[in-house]
Structure 1
Amino acid sequence: MTKLIIAVFDGLQPAQVSPELAPNIYGVAERGVFFENHHPVFPSVTRINAASMVTGVTPGLHGLAGNSFVARDYDATRVISALNAEMASIAKTGLRVLNATTLQEILNPYDMNYVALGVGTSGNAYAHNPLAETHGGATIHPEFTIPSTIQDHIENTFGEWPAETLPNLPRYEHAMNIFLEYVLGDISPEIALIWSSEPDKSQHMYGVGAEESNHALRESDEQFGRLVQFIKSHSLEDEINLMIVSDHGYSTIIDSVDLENELKGAGFTIGSGTGEILVAPNGGCALLYVGDSDSGASERIVEWIMSQSWCGTVLVSDRLGKIEGTLPLNLVGCDGPRSPDIIVSFKWTSDSNDNGFPGYVFSTGGLRGQGQHGSMSRYEMNNTLICSGPAFRTGERFLSPSGNIDIMPTALDLLGIPVPANVSGRILKEAYRGYNEPVIASSETYVASRTFEVSGKESTYTQKVAISKVGSSVYLDEGNGCRDSDL
């Protein structure tokens, strides 16, 4: 029987949980617990956050570095997009797509199952349960299912999936039909997840708070209301716990940066040879892979990046050694066997857009005024988590730091299953009924600077990265940088 339902709304910001925009989500929040200081993992993009939700670890450990990335153990010569076809190709070579143990792998020995249904990207869906063929559970997406044997049954029972549209509401309505009748009704897995691609899809096109984006959120919330009603009509309020989560926050684009072309213009070579660069664009940040992790080339690349007006933070892998002015990738959980050599997070501001939502950022793509994420902006590094049900307190809000890395350990604990010691996240016990121990949190700010010449004048670049900690769990609050000449 299903004990936990996770409903994900892609790109939902805490400020959007209101009676006007999302009355059903808001109602659950009022009856449950709202984590106001919730965090995605960095980069603040979808597919790596999906992976962190089901592994409980940061990207450096699970190995999915971005929505686009280079998997050097698979193909060191090109940037790939984390979509179903490419990830399935990685698996066919015998490599693990995710280098960390997934939720379903842990549930399997207990004869329990996790079923995820999503209408976002195929890579997002794939990451939830890449080993369902052998370990049980399932992933359901309009383009594929794992295991593949259930796809025909779903289409024969519910009809063909609607075409992808903007907003993507017909697909979400169809998904909710499948979720209520087939996933909850027929399979009844211990943990079930449904993922809405809105408001993210509309916000990318129209911007945060635009009427089109608000409409997409309201309509998605209406479909979510069917799930709330299902729980009520089946008298499951005392049986099922519910989590409402988003994968990341949001910003508005200042301007786009074609980093690959700018690097070419600065005299660098794009490629995978020694000292050459592969650029993986990820919205508010970019992942850079330097051929053979050449330290000399990396030093030159870093100084050039720091001299640019769009530069926010610059973090490097330990494999490069110490580079003046940078901070280490392991500070934010991004270093590991599949990590890039350099990550640049673009500069952001707290200015509000025309719809009153704060946060502007440079981006690897898109137009000014459209929505984006991926950076260390505080508006992208703060997302939504609401918990409700028999295990949770009622009508409370928490400021204790939490993150998407906490979803898996908390889910396991709710089922009475031991949490692996090597997870990055923690059990969110402060939200439990009857738990009264204080949460001891701390915060730190890391600063690095470098002085160099720009157009014959001395300039100093300074970056700051702020993190919060609870025990061994680390949450990135924000990070930004600037040159003194920009002040």
Structure 2
Amino acid sequence: MRRVILSCLVGLSLAGSAQAQPQARNVVLFIADGLRDGMVNAANAPTMDRLMRAGVRFTNTHSLFPTFTMPNATAMATGHMLGDTGQFGNTIYTAFPVPGAGESLTPFLESDPVLGDVDAHFAGNYLNEETILRAAHAQGLSTASIGKLGPSLVFDHTARSGQDSILVDDSTGRPGGIPLSEELRTRLGAAGLPTQAPTRGTNGQAGTAETPGTLSANVEQQSYFADVATKAVLPLFRERGKPFVLVFWSRDPDGTQHNQGDSLGRLVPGINGPTSLAAIRNVDTNLATLLAALKEQGLADSTDVILTSDHGFSTISKESATSFSATLAYKGVPKGQIPPGFLAIDLAHELGLGLFDPDAKGARLAADAFPSRANGLIGTDPAKPDVVVAANGGSDLVYLPGGDKALARKVVEALTRQDYVSGLFVSAALGPIPGTLPLSAIALDGSALTPMPAIVVNFRSFSTGCSDPTTCGVEVSDTGLQQGQGMHGSFSRADTRNVMGAMGPSFRAGLASPVPASNADLGKTIAQLLGLTIPGKGQLVGRVLTEALANGSTPTFARAVLRSEPDAAGHITVLAYQTVGETRYFDAAGYPGRTLGPDIPALTAAAEAH
């Protein structure tokens, strides 16, 4: 029997209730992709630090698990958790060949064409929920989303003409990109800005096992996006004289931390080297540019600015003493390290089945080859796989297209023998399996249209011993990047602890809020600030962050721990979480001793006190 242990019910007693805004507000949602909360201080990110000191700093923050960009983008955009949106990772199994992804069954969704293909397959809206930008535009507000390819489009992904919401991302001006309206083209020309977004340049170079990755932040591309926002879009919105909502999604520090070349093969400094710090300063500069423009254009007093990051970040480990894949030799993989696709390779070996590459037209993989994008189709026929692995980084998704319960148990048994596994979550349709928790326990079982994973695999994580473990986390990662570079996606507190803050006329001043908050809450809160009513199809939703609003009420919250039954080897999946009413917030999960978070009692309290 699973046991729920409630520890410390925290009561906060400020009276009052959230009130409707007396006048129209503008909203700017600024996302610093992959920014760790513990890295935001006066030295590293002075603009962000000042914003949260003047307004609200949420000190008990939560990224949604799996802690990847696209899942958390959908949470912000809709206010729904992943069991409703179906965005279970950056890479998912779609059960159909996606044209924009080379006919892959496991597409990477940070792509405008791929998102269009997936939308088309799932009745025009694969998320099955309305986004805040779509609702805002429908009610006459000006809307724009600018920045990183993939998550920027998610905020209004069903309108692709360029005539509704303004969309500017990496693909702007290139084949497959969303077109620009003539109105915006004119504005860009008047501001001396090109209609084609620059590439990442050297920042996009990830290196190899022998060659370090980038040593520069993503300055040029993000300066362009900031200029588009401040010199073209904001002046346009000001002249329209209507309320607006602007989303600015900064690729830094995420992109730089992934690719950084400061720590090739080494866990220290990992993602804490000079290149990663430069990326944090870069995004802080972008925010400063945006805030200055709001002030200069007379918009600051009527604009609420919300700051968040989609997830935290960790350094990559590629080490395992149990993996079959680590005993083989692969081109470009250091001897003894696990290759990209190690989970698919190990499962195929354990099950005695063939392994095929979904990103190479289903080609069968030889013993000395790993999947090109780490994904795998396992079985005898790639067109009808028994097992599908969608590799994502700090966690992987395993699908069983046939729903075979006996096969599910075999897969779980194989996974529990690996030292890189730390916690398993299984679909309730496969029955209870010792050592695992159900997907419903972490809000992954809902009304989603996309196929639901059978098993979500969390990978081992730990810290390198710094004073704040969430700033020096390490995780085993199923990725083409190298040991010592950066990744996220795990159930480590280093990945679930993101940044959240707010400042503006709707928010309190000088508040450090200890109430748990998540990216799903931002979608609900922004909808209220804009006066939007968005009917939901699914029930897995965030809440309005009333504790941060002027004259808003502060709710109570509780902490809890959920433990699975032990498996035959004694493995227990432990989930540490919090609740505000019916809304759940997931701190960390995994096998005790293998996940950074639930087995460190002082960690959550230390993070909240930051």
TM-score by length of structure 2 reads 0.73
- Displacement after TM superposition at 1:481 (Å): 0.8
- Displacement after TM superposition at 1:152 (Å): 5.3
- Displacement after TM superposition at 1:200 (Å): 0.8
Pairing partner for 2:106 from 79, 82, 97: 79
Matches within 5 A, 1:18-167: 18-72=41-95, 78-82=105-109, 83-93=111-121, 94-118=123-147, 120=148, 122-133=149-160, 136-144=164-172, 146=178, 148-149=180-181, 156=189, 158-159=193-194, 160-165=196-201, 166=203, 167=217
Q: Residue 132 of structure 1 contacts residue 147 of structure 1 at CA under 8 Å; is this kept in 2?
A: no
CA distance in 1, matches of 2:289, 2:133: 26
- Displacement after TM superposition at 1:268 (Å): 4.5
- Displacement after TM superposition at 1:91 (Å): 2.6
- Displacement after TM superposition at 1:291 (Å): 2.8
- Displacement after TM superposition at 1:156 (Å): 4.8
Pairing partner for 1:425 from 542, 559, 563: 542
What's 2:309 paired with? Answer: 246
Matches within 5 A, 1:310-329: 310-329=420-439
- Displacement after TM superposition at 1:318 (Å): 2.0
* Secondary structure of the structure 2 residue equivalent to 1:339: coil
Assess, with a 3 A threshold, how the Cα gap between structure 1 residues 141 and 324 changes in structure 2: closer, same or farther. Answer: same
What's 2:530 paired with? Answer: 415
- Displacement after TM superposition at 1:126 (Å): 2.3
CA distance in 2, matches of 1:141, 1:98: 20
CA distance in 2, matches of 1:418, 1:95: 21
CA distance in 2, matches of 1:438, 1:253: 38
Deviations 1:7-60 (A, max 9, x none): 111111111111111111111111110001111111100011111100100111
CA distance in 2, matches of 1:59, 1:240: 29
* Secondary structure of the structure 2 residue equivalent to 1:248: coil
- Displacement after TM superposition at 1:387 (Å): 0.4
Q: Residue 113 of structure 1 contacts residue 137 of structure 1 at CA under 8 Å; is this kept in 2?
A: yes
CA distance in 1, matches of 2:540, 2:400: 29
What's 1:190 paired with? Answer: 244
Deviations 1:156-211 (A, max 9, x none): 55113222131211011000110012221113561101111111111112342211
Assess, with a 3 A threshold, how the Cα gap between structure 1 residues 332 and 371 changes in structure 2: closer, same or farther. Answer: same
What's 1:401 paired with? Answer: 516
Assess, with a 3 A threshold, how the Cα gap between structure 1 residues 449 and 423 changes in structure 2: closer, same or farther. Answer: closer
Bigger Rg, which one: 2
Assess, with a 3 A threshold, how the Cα gap between structure 1 residues 148 and 359 changes in structure 2: closer, same or farther. Answer: same
* Secondary structure of the structure 2 residue equivalent to 1:266: helix
Give the counterpart letter for 1:427 in structure 2.
Answer: V
Q: Residue 69 of structure 2 contacts residue 311 of structure 2 at CA under 8 Å; is this kept in 1?
A: yes
- Displacement after TM superposition at 1:226 (Å): 1.3
- Displacement after TM superposition at 1:254 (Å): 2.4
CA distance in 1, matches of 2:584, 2:97: 29
Deviations 1:327-385 (A, max 9, x none): 01111111244321110011112333799833221110232222210010011001011
Aligned length: 476
- Displacement after TM superposition at 1:294 (Å): 1.1
- Displacement after TM superposition at 1:468 (Å): 1.1
Q: Residue 97 of structure 2 contacts residue 105 of structure 2 at CA under 8 Å; is this kept in 1?
A: no
Pairing partner for 1:307 from 398, 417, 420: 417
Pairing partner for 1:286 from 396, 410, 415: 396
293-302 or 414-423, larger mean C-alpha shift? 414-423
Pairing partner for 2:577 from 433, 454, 467: 467
Q: Residue 166 of structure 2 contacts residue 180 of structure 2 at CA under 8 Å; is this kept in 1?
A: no
What's 2:347 paired with? Answer: 263
Q: Does 1:201 align with 2:264?
A: no
TM-score by length of structure 1 reads 0.91
Q: Residue 134 of structure 2 contacts residue 155 of structure 2 at CA under 8 Å; is this kept in 1?
A: no
Q: Residue 6 of structure 1 contacts residue 193 of structure 1 at CA under 8 Å; is this kept in 2?
A: yes
What's 2:488 paired with? Answer: 373
Deviations 1:118-160 (A, max 9, x none): 1x2x222221211224893232213045455458557655113
* Secondary structure of the structure 1 residue equivalent to 2:497: coil
Q: Does 1:451 align with 2:602?
A: no
Q: Does 1:8 align with 2:31?
A: yes
Q: Residue 272 of structure 2 contacts residue 472 of structure 2 at CA under 8 Å; is this kept in 1?
A: no
* Secondary structure of the structure 2 residue equivalent to 1:65: coil
Structure 1: which 5+ residue stretches go unaligned?
453-458
138-147 or 361-370, larger mean C-alpha shift? 138-147
What's 1:214 paired with? Answer: 277
Q: Residue 274 of structure 1 contacts residue 292 of structure 1 at CA under 8 Å; is this kept in 2?
A: no
Q: Residue 45 of structure 2 contacts residue 284 of structure 2 at CA under 8 Å; is this kept in 1?
A: yes
Deviations 1:73-116 (A, max 9, x none): 77798211112222211233444221212113322442124311
366-375 or 381-390, larger mean C-alpha shift? 366-375
CA distance in 2, matches of 1:78, 1:344: 19
What's 2:3 paired with? Answer: none
Structure 2: which 5+ residue stretches go unaligned?
1-23, 204-216, 261-269, 320-337, 354-377, 600-610
Q: Residue 237 of structure 2 contacts residue 244 of structure 2 at CA under 8 Å; is this kept in 1?
A: no
* Secondary structure of the structure 2 residue equivalent to 1:367: coil
